[in-house]
Amino acid sequence: MLNKVVQIGIAEDQTLFRHGLIQILNGLDNVKVVLEAENGKEFMDKLEKQKIDIAFLDYKMPVMNGSKTAKLISELHPSIKILFISMYNEEEFIISAIESGANGYITKDGSVDEIEMAIESLMTTGYYMNDGTSKLLIGNLLSQGEGSALSKNGKNSLSELEILVMKLICQEYSTKEISEMIFRGVRTVEGIRSNILRKTGAKNSNGIVMYAVKKGIVDI
């Protein structure tokens, strides 16, 4: 259960859907929509004055689409978790969203329970993937070559401690939980995670999970 009020921002050009989503989200415990916009540019403008925890982004929007918006959020507000909520369930859109910096991806025909689950997962583990999304991503990785943007390893190999932390991230343990399990400070774990991102070429926890699967560090 969430122990704080999670502040949500939404960028969605379909007014009826946006208003319906806002009503659903505001009906959940400890969740409040504090920012809404019709496109990515309006969203980024409003974000300068309003703090949020999670950004709900539509994929296709006028003026500035979800992919460009996600990239800007990742660069300018890295603490914000990004969840795409889209009508598209094709692999190309999901992969593009993840590569843009998304922490999760759900479709508009998903249930209220899944939305609530995604929010809780984003706040506790930093990412969310349902079974369908996971299968698509894993299938894509297994069919790709070593040059994928999500599977580059760079010149430095992972240390045993970094591999251990990677496995714990894949098991959805939080930074605090990992720090307690390996007897290191939270800042140390954050530093290890940063090293893993740099060495693997991943952009977020989803990328770490996918890298670990492709390299056989964890089982599917």
Would you say residue 43 has pLDDT above 80?
A: yes
Would you say residue 99 has pLDDT above 90?
A: no
| 134 pLDDT tier (thresholds 50, 70, 90) | low
Same domain, yes or no, for 128 and 170? no
Quote the pLDDT of residue 182: 85
Taking the C-alpha atoms of residue 130 and residue 107, their distance in angstroms, rounded to an integer, is 10
Quote the pLDDT of residue 154: 41
Same domain, yes or no, for 159 and 204? yes
Same domain, yes or no, for 40 and 122? yes
Q: Is the distance from CB of 55 to CB of 9 less than 8 angstroms?
A: yes
Residue-averaged pLDDT of the chain: 85
Same domain, yes or no, for 12 and 50? yes
- Does residue 188 fall inside a structural domain? yes
Same domain, yes or no, for 123 and 22? yes
Query: What pLDDT, in 10s, does the model give residues 147-199?
Result: 343 444 443 588 888 888 998 888 888 899 898 888 888 898 999 999 999 88
- Does residue 219 fall inside a structural domain? no
- Does residue 209 fall inside a structural domain? yes
Would you say residue 64 has pLDDT above 80?
A: yes
Taking the C-alpha atoms of residue 11 and residue 209, their distance in angstroms, rounded to an integer, is 27
Number of folded domains in the chain? 2
Quote the pLDDT of residue 138: 54
- Does residue 139 fall inside a structural domain? no
Would you say residue 48 has pLDDT above 80?
A: yes
Same domain, yes or no, for 30 and 92? yes
Taking the C-alpha atoms of residue 75 and residue 61, their distance in angstroms, rounded to an integer, is 20
Quote the pLDDT of residue 145: 42
Which of 109-113, 175-179, 208-212 shows the lowest per-residue confidence on average (mean pLDDT)? Answer: 208-212
The segment with the largest mean pLDDT, out of 3-7, 50-54, 186-190, is 50-54
Would you say residue 38 has pLDDT above 70?
A: yes
Burial class of residue 215, CB neighbours in 10 A (0-12, 13-18, 19+): middle
Quote the pLDDT of residue 148: 41
Name the token pair of 147.
């040059």
Q: In the 3-class helix/strand/coil scheme, how is the chain assigned residue by residue?
A: CCCCCEEEEEECCCHHHHHHHHHHHHCCCCEEEEEEECCHHHHHHHHCCCCCCEEEECCCCCCCCHHHHHHHHHHHCCCCEEEEEECCCCHHHHHHHHHCCCCEEEECCCCHHHHHHHHHHHHHCCCECCHHHHHHHHHHHHHCCCCCCCCCCCCCCCCHHHHHHHHHHHCCCCHHHHHHHCCCCHHHHHHHHHHHHHHHCCCCHHHHHHHHHHCCCCCC
Same domain, yes or no, for 32 and 60? yes
**Cβ-based neighbour number of residue 64 at 10 Å:** 17
Arithmetic mean of pLDDT, 32-39: 98
Which of 22-36, 71-85, 92-106, 123-137 shows the lowest per-residue confidence on average (mean pLDDT)? Answer: 123-137
Same domain, yes or no, for 105 and 178? no
Query: What pLDDT, in 10s, does the model give residues 15-25?
Result: 999 999 999 99
Would you say residue 144 has pLDDT above 70?
A: no
Name the token pair of 169.
């991230």
- By C-alpha distance, which of 30, 39, 31 is closest to 10? 39
CATH code, domain with 159: 1.10.10.10
CATH code, domain with 75: 3.40.50.2300
Q: Please report, as a single letter, which amino acid is at residue 87.
A: M
- Does residue 33 fall inside a structural domain? yes
Residue 32, domain extent: 6-132
Same domain, yes or no, for 13 and 120? yes
Q: Name the packing angle between helices 205-214 and 91-99 (round to 10°).
A: 120
